[in-house]
Amino acid sequence: MKHVIPRLFRERYGKILGKEKNIFIEYCQKPLRKSIRINELKADVDDVIKRLSSYGWKLEKIPWTKAGYWVSYPEGEQVGNTLEHFMGYYYVQEAASMIPPILLDPDESDKILDMAAAPGSKTSQLADTMKNNGTIIANDVSIERIKVLRFNLEKLGVMNTIISRMDGRSFSRFENKFDAVMLDAPCSSEGIIRKDWKALSKWSIRFIMGMSYLQKQLISAAVSATKKGGVIVYSTCTLAPEENEEVIDYAVKNFGLKVEKVRPKALKFRKGIREWKGKKYDKEVENALRIWPHDNDTEGFFVAKLRKV
C-alpha cells in the first residue's frame, strides 16, 4: 500500500520539477535501498566484501564513493545483524549522506568541527579519510544523541575525535579556530521519507520556516568558527529551498562566502535554484548540489561547499 503524499507537498515540488513531478512522487513512495560504508580504520574493503558475499549478500558499488556499497541480502536478515557490523567493519549509511565528507576533503592535519555530529555518520567518515590523524570536534546539543555518537565512534575505532555537547550556535565565540566545519544541519527531513514516513507527520510550512531560521543562525556560527580560507560544507536531507538555497544565499550575501563548483563523478544532481516564491538568490547558489530521490535512487539531499575568503 502506497502512502499518501500531502497535496501541498506535491504542489510545492511540482513547481520546481514540472513534468518530473510524477516520477518524484513515485520514488518518494518507494522503499529506500540499503547501503553501507566499509570502515577502513578497522577493515580491508575486499575482505569485508568477501565476508558479506559468503552470507549470500550482493554488493553494488556506489560510484561516487571510495568504500560505499548498496547491499541486498537473503530475506529475513538485517543489514545490522552481522558480526562484521558488530565489530565496526562497516557502518550503515545512506548513499547520499556520504557526499558531504567527500566534498569537505580534509587533510590529515586539519582541525575540523562537526557542528551537529550525531549519530556519527559523517564524523566517522571524516576520521576514516584522515586516517585518525588531525582533530575533529564532534558536537551535538542532545545528550541522548551524544550517547549514540559516542557508541558509534568507539565501535568504529575513531581516535582523533573529541565529543562536545553545546548548542551549535555557541561556536560563534570560537573565532577562526577551525580549518573546516561540517554543518549537516537539523532540518525538516523531507528527503528521508523513503525510509521514515513519519518525517511527514510534523511537516508544515511553519516548521520549514522555523528550521530555516535556525539554520541561518548555525551557518553564521560556522562562518565565525572557520579560519580565513577555510571550508564550510553545508548539507541537509530536505528539499525545501527555504532550508537550502535560501540559507546559502544568506551566507553569501552576509559574509561574502564563495560557493565552490564541485561536481562529484558519477553523481546525477541539479544546480541550486535561483528563485523561489518571489525571492531571488545570488548566482553563487547555482554551484550547490540539489539531489532528488529519482536522480540516483537515494534519499533527497542538498549540499554546498563554501569557502571563507
Active site residue 28: no
102, 237, 259, 291: which is the annotated catalytic residue?
237
**Which residue is listed with cell 516548521?**
207
Angle at 178 between CA 240 and CA 267, to 5 degrees: 40
Q: Which of 216, 220, 183 is nearest to 100 (CA)?
A: 183
Distance CA 29, CA 15 (A): 19
φ and ψ at residue 184, rounded to 5 degrees: -90, 90
- Within 8 A by CB and 6+ apart from 36, the residues are 68, 69, 71, 79, 90, 91, 92, 93
C-alpha cell at 131: 586516517
Which parts of the chain fold into alpha helices (H)?
7-17, 21-28, 45-53, 83-86, 99-104, 121-129, 143-155, 205-225, 245-255, 293-296
State the catalytic residues: 237
